[in-house]
Amino acid sequence: MTVKTSELNNLAAHEIVRGIEAGAFTAEAVTRACLERIAAREKTVKAWAFLDRDHALAQAWALDSEPVRGPLHGVPVGVKDVIDTADMPTQMGSPIYDDHRPGADASCVALMRAAGAVILGKTITCEFAGSTANVTTNPIDPARTPGGSSSGTAAAIADHMVTIGFGTQTGGSVLRPSSFCGIVGYKPSYNAVNRAGLKFAAESLDTIGLMTRTVADADAMGAVLTGRATVVGKGAPDRPRIGLCRTYLWPTAEPATVSAIEDAARRLAAAGAQLTEVALPDRFDRLGAARDVLNDYERAHAMAYEWNSHRDRLSPGLRRAIENGYAMDLARYAEAQRLAADCRGRLGPVFDGCDVLLAPCVPGEAPVGLASTGDPKMQGLWTILHVPTITLPTHKGPNGMPVGIQLVGAPGADTLLLAVADWVMSRLGADR
């Protein structure tokens, strides 16, 4: 493998590992390439909450002094700043936690280190992984939002500052910024990735998500985090069964998303996929409101300390959400949980005859302006259902901005979702 040293930050994870194993370059060289990219672009993108150049290089030097440690040896990782790191602050996008130093790594971070990854730094998050926008810009067009709340991770990966990274999703905080920034965003099945060391927003929804530039890298991260084997490149269905599911939110889709979904469906059918139309049961149109109930109720109780001790340091939007949660009757919360459980129980027939669903991911291109991170409803529908989902950077809108499609897997069917996603990406990737 021959790659210019200055371009090592552009490589996928498997290319980095293979190159280091072959002696073509070192972990230090990869880390330096990422740091140089950050130095050139961070004033515009503003993706990083914490970055220590010397510490990042020290990790790389340590890796270069030993045999290949694991399947992510030398791969730089960005960690959303609501996930604990023992050697870096976890500040959660809030002045309440300025320079807060956890005593241990989150489980997902510890597993990355054991697999040989370089924890490059902490990426910007919206305040407590909520909806109040932070400073990060979209690297493709800085006048537009990068999405949120995993804004820093999405922007850093899209801008080739780092190879892979972590986000979290309570509504749409992995898939929306991934779509807006033009990368792969994978939300595993609920609780498939251990959440120890994550600051909860809403415990029955929060999922640690994986953000990359390729499906293979998302698969590799998932394998490290769950102990399973990788699946990409080991055989997808010859003719995957894809259900076109526009969902009840289709009327809110802008022309860019309508075009992306319909074009994807046509091209995938022409490539050999078995396409069918799938409709969701009537009760599912209540899930958006139920997700909001769960979010506010659980967020309020998860943030009792911050509310009681530092209320004046919370943003107005977060204060409103917490006030809503504390004012909420327990019966209303219980009803939202019952609806969610009932709809999860009705998913079997939805996936009858389908390996995955093809659904809209976002209303359209990333909106202009940084005050809002965009509408999470098209992602939140699937988050409350606890199913695995992935967005793929297959299309662009009229302004040249990315518009991702969303593939949805059946409950627990993460490996099938990833295998089909790789098949889909290979057929639609020309628009990247």
Contact 242, 339 (CB under 8 A): no
Burial of residue 256 (CB within 10 Å: 0-12, 13-18, 19+) is buried
* Residue linked to tokens 């089909």: 420
State how far Cα 289 lies from the chain centre. 22
Question: What's the rounded Cα separation, in Å, for the pair 50 and 91?
Answer: 9
User: Would 31 be classed as within a structural domain?
Assistant: no
State how far Cα 296 lies from the chain centre. 21
Helix (H) / strand (E) containing 381: helix 377-384
Q: Which residues contact 95 (CB under 8 A, 6 or more apart)?
A: 313
Work out how many domains the chain is built from and give that number. Answer: 1
Per-state percent for the chain, helix, strand, coil, to nearest 5: 45, 15, 40
**Rounded to 5 degrees, what are φ and ψ at 132?**
-75, 120
Contact 76, 120 (CB under 8 A): yes
Please identify which of the residues 94, 107, 149, 178 carries the catalytic annotation: 149
In this prediction, residue 431 carries a pLDDT of 41
pTM for this prediction: 0.98
Listed residue (112, 109, 147) closest to 129, CA to CA = 147
Burial of residue 188 (CB within 10 Å: 0-12, 13-18, 19+) is buried
pLDDT by residue for the chain (432 residues), tens digit each? Answer: 677 888 999 999 999 999 999 999 999 999 999 999 999 999 999 999 999 999 999 999 999 999 999 999 999 999 999 999 999 999 999 999 998 999 999 999 999 999 999 999 999 999 999 999 999 999 999 999 999 999 999 999 999 999 999 999 999 999 999 999 999 999 999 999 999 999 999 999 999 999 999 999 999 999 999 999 999 999 888 999 999 999 999 999 999 999 999 999 999 999 999 999 999 999 999 999 999 999 999 999 999 999 999 999 999 999 999 999 999 999 999 999 999 999 999 999 999 999 999 999 999 999 999 999 999 999 999 999 999 999 999 999 999 999 999 999 999 999 999 999 999 999 997 443
User: Would 326 be classed as within a structural domain?
Assistant: yes
User: Would 316 be classed as within a structural domain?
Assistant: yes
Contact 291, 318 (CB under 8 A): no
Active site residue 189: no
In this prediction, residue 1 carries a pLDDT of 63
- Report the SS3 class of residue 39: helix
Listed residue (166, 151, 160) closest to 119, CA to CA = 166
User: Would 17 be classed as within a structural domain?
Assistant: no
User: Would 299 be classed as within a structural domain?
Assistant: yes
Active site residue 107: no
**Rounded to 5 degrees, what are φ and ψ at 276?**
-135, 155
Query: Which structure tokens are listed for 397?
Result: 């809108």
Listed residue (174, 136, 127, 152) closest to 299, CA to CA = 127
Containing structural domain, residue 295: 285-343
User: Would 414 be classed as within a structural domain?
Assistant: no
What angle do helix axes 215-226 and 13-21 make, rounded to 10 degrees? Answer: 80
Cross-strand pairs, 168: 208
User: Would 353 be classed as within a structural domain?
Assistant: no
* Residue linked to tokens 């390439």: 33
- Report the SS3 class of residue 375: coil
Contact 129, 173 (CB under 8 A): yes
Active site residue 309: no
User: Would 195 be classed as within a structural domain?
Assistant: no
Query: Which structure tokens are listed for 266?
Result: 């046509």
Please identify which of the residues 131, 150, 173, 178 carries the catalytic annotation: 173
Contact 331, 392 (CB under 8 A): no
